[in-house]
Amino acid sequence: MKQNDSVINQANARNIVTVKEYMSSWKSCFDSKGIRLTPRVRSFDLIALSILNKAYRLSEACIFLIEEGFSDEAFGLSRSIIECAINLRYLTLNLDEIDSRANNFLQFIHADRKHLLKLIREEYPVDERNDAMEAIAKADKLDERWKTKGHPPNDWKEIEIENWTCWKIITAVHPLDTQLNIYCSIRKLFATFYRLASARIHCSVSSLDNYSSDTHFSFKIGEQRIICLDHTREPLIAILEGLYLSARYALYGLKLDQTESFDKQIEDIDKKLVKPCERK
């Protein structure tokens, strides 16, 4: 396996440290707020805090992969961090609809289970898996809860009257756009890092650059790869911008006007990152 240029490695090492410091500061800001969930917590509050948890853990996983030499794999995983921000953006596009959208988010599991139940009934009519699923269906009253016709929704957002696509969510006007675009445009994040990370997830041709076998060696799975492109920076950017946007959308939906610290974090961190043009 060919090693990346040492100068690039040094820049990546500095950026990894910078992003880890950002993550620590981002976490501390939330931990210091003392947010507590009451027994009558809104569905959105539960979802928003869960998504923030997931975004942070995904970021930790990406850092771990990068440090272990799996930056390409981290790049693919980083798309899920951006998905966290996209879901929170959709939920908070209209505060008057936040409760209905949050409830649909939670209730979609029943639609998904009913579709799985339908497939099991068709494909495994006499099977222990059928018995187990039927027991779950009876306990959750799936047959009564969901009366969907035809195919189930492909995504929980499609339960809404309008057929929301990811691109429509990105381009729809959000109340925070004027503020957030100063630091991070979700449209740019989606058009570049989200789309490129999707190529890795879906194993398209452009995701194979670093997996070509070296012609000088007998082929062995996972060995003698030719590293054509370094993909360390991309997941780091997805972490920074995905966490920032997730925080701002979540706080907006939670009605917590305590965002200055997050704005300052993302502004300061951009000054610390080593840019590609600085790799001399």
pLDDT tens track for 243-267: 999 999 999 999 987 788 899 999 8
Can you give the pLDDT at residue 1? 39
pLDDT at 143 over 80: no
Q: What integer is the mean pLDDT of 4-17? A: 81
Mean of per-residue pLDDT scores for the chain:
84
Q: Taking the model in full, what pTM does it have?
A: 0.84
CB of 65 closer than 8 Å to CB of 74: yes
Tens digits of per-residue pLDDT, 47-95?
999 999 999 999 999 999 999 989 999 999 999 999 999 999 999 999 9
